Structure formats: structure tokens, C-alpha cells
Amino acid sequence: MLKLFLPDHYVKTVFEIKPEGLKSKGIKGIITDLDNTLVPWDVKDATPEVYKWFEKMKQNEIKVTIISNNNKERVKVFSEPLGAPYVFSARKPLARSFKKAAQEMGLKRNEVVVIGDQLLTDILGGNRAGFHTILVAPIVKTDAKITSFNRRIERSILNRMRKKGMITWNK
């Protein structure tokens, strides 16, 4: 059961994920969460660093789709200036939206990586859909109410994983 929450990799920030490393593993596409993965949950627009990261991926022919449980307006306002396709009201951790995003990119599961800051939505959903998953540390310590509740459960899961020796990194 715990394995469903176990990411394949962990990084402190999405900006540690380089196109060269992805390409060397046959990755041609990214499905990424938005809030607290790319920008703090209460920041409306992409930062210059996010623009630069998206541009690097594009230059290396790696497709990026943004997937979020947030509403259409929030996701659209963020994604459109980046020229990024998006899925809003994704209902993560259900697998359907992850599979839809990969299908729209025209990629197979083994060619796509899922990136997110939450075990209960991003990693669980990506794992259930059969994708390679990367957990990133949340950008900020504050969260919306529902996410705060999820973080308490997440800490419990991470502690169990540590005790069982499933993970060695600190969050």
C-alpha cells in the first residue's frame, strides 16, 4: 500500500530537473502540478525562472502539460502565457486526467514523468496511472485549507516510509 505513495525520485525544486537528464531516460513529456510545485499556491503568474525552465524544455523538445485540481480560471491564467496545455479540475489522484494529458501529448506512459509536491494527489495519481513520478518539496510552507489537511496525512506516510527504510531523503 505504501508503494503507491512512493515517488521514483525526490528533488528540492522543479528547477533541478534538467532536460538532458530526462532525455537520457527516454522522457519526452512532463505532466506537472501547478500550485507549490511551479509557484507558491497564492501566486497568480509564472516567475521568470518558470518561463526559463519551460523554454529549456521546449528547446529540448520535451512537452509540458500543467495539471491541477484548481479551477479553470486559475490554471488558464497561469498556463496560457507559457503556451502550455493544461488540465483543470483534474480530480487528482484519479488516473484519468494523467492519462488524458499523456494522450494529448501523443506520448506513451514510459515517455512521461509526473512532477508534483503532494503524495496524496500528484504522486499517488501518477503512480496509479503508471507513470514515473518525481516529488518536489513544496515551495512555501503555507497551504490552502484542504492541502493543509493532506499535509498532515502526508507527514504520517513519509514517517512510515522512513521507518521502513523506503526513503532516505529528508523533506
Q: What is the structure's pLDDT at 152?
A: 82
Q: Where are the domains of the chain?
A: 2-163
Please, is 31 exposed, middle or buried when counting C-beta atoms within 10 Å of its C-beta (0-12, 13-18, 19+)? buried
The dotted CATH code for 2-163 is 3.40.50.1000
Return per-residue pLDDT of the chain as tens, 171 residues: 788 999 999 999 999 999 999 999 999 999 999 999 999 988 999 999 999 999 999 999 999 999 999 999 999 999 999 999 999 999 999 999 999 999 999 999 999 999 999 999 999 999 999 999 999 999 977 666 667 778 788 888 888 888 888 887 765
pLDDT digits (tens, 9 = 90+) for 27-54: 999 999 999 999 998 899 999 999 999 9
User: Sign (positive/negative) of CA torsion 9, 40, 110, 20?
Assistant: negative
Angstrom distance (rounded) from CA 60 to CA 77? 25
127 to 60, 68, 80: CA distances (angstroms) = 25, 16, 27
